[in-house]
Amino acid sequence: MPVPPKQARSVQSADRMLEAAEALLREGGPRAITIEAVIARAGTSMGSFYARFERRDGLFRALHQRFLAMVVREDLLVRLDRAASEPDLARAVHSFVTATFVHAADHRDLTAFFMVYHNGDRAMREDGAAMSRAFSDLLHRLVKAHRAEVSHKNLRVASDFAALLIAGVNLERLIHEPGEFTGRAQTTKQVINSTSQAVVAYLRFG
């Protein structure tokens, strides 16, 4: 597993390697992240890499942890939780979807890496599952807060499916370039509005 750097120089070296890995991720996806490429981009050494990450999978786990730290730092879960306090279902869902999609768009490559790349690593899969459960639970709280507008008897089933709808559209936006999937590009705002309307229609009318 990644070894936490202790000295200031070691911290800076680790940060440079993680930033280099993110840049390579943007340019060519996970396959572009080789130890040699990271070292060359970061201007560090092979010894520094192995002292910090031990191997390539250790770097990938560190990238997953970097994503989780970013979610906490930018208060994404707080903003998703706050959506439930909107005065009606439509505005609550729109606020929830907006926070989700804007954050993903701002950090597209790292978010896609977190959602897609697990490589059979148990710790990384558990990180992804925990984040998915937190997302689903917050949407469930929103649905319960506006249950008077929801037609489904089983709110848990309804909110779980709504979470799948949102996550599915979000993932499509992350793994395809705009317009690549359908041949017609949409702005983030358009996708937010369409997704919100679809989720509200499902919750209201089943």
pTM of the model: 0.86
Distance (Å, rounded) from C-alpha 89 to C-alpha 92? 5
Distance (Å, rounded) from C-alpha 177 to C-alpha 160? 27
138 contacts 82 by C-beta, under 8 angstroms = no
Question: Which domains are seen in the chain, by residue range?
Answer: 8-54 (1.10.10), 69-205 (1.10.357.10)
Q: Tell me, what's the pLDDT at 3? A: 56
How crowded is residue 14: how many other Cβ atoms within 10 Å of its Cβ?
A: 23
Query: Exposed, middle or buried by CB within 10 Å (0-12, 13-18, 19+), for 97?
Result: buried
* Confidence label for 8 from pLDDT (cuts 50, 70 and 90): low
33 contacts 21 by C-beta, under 8 angstroms = yes
* Confidence label for 6 from pLDDT (cuts 50, 70 and 90): low
Tokens of 107: 């950090």
Q: Tell me, what's the pLDDT at 206? A: 86
Q: Find the DSSP H helices in the chain.
A: 8-28, 35-42, 46-53, 56-73, 76-82, 89-106, 108-116, 122-145, 155-175, 188-205
* Confidence label for 117 from pLDDT (cuts 50, 70 and 90): confident
Q: What is the mean pLDDT of the chain?
A: 91
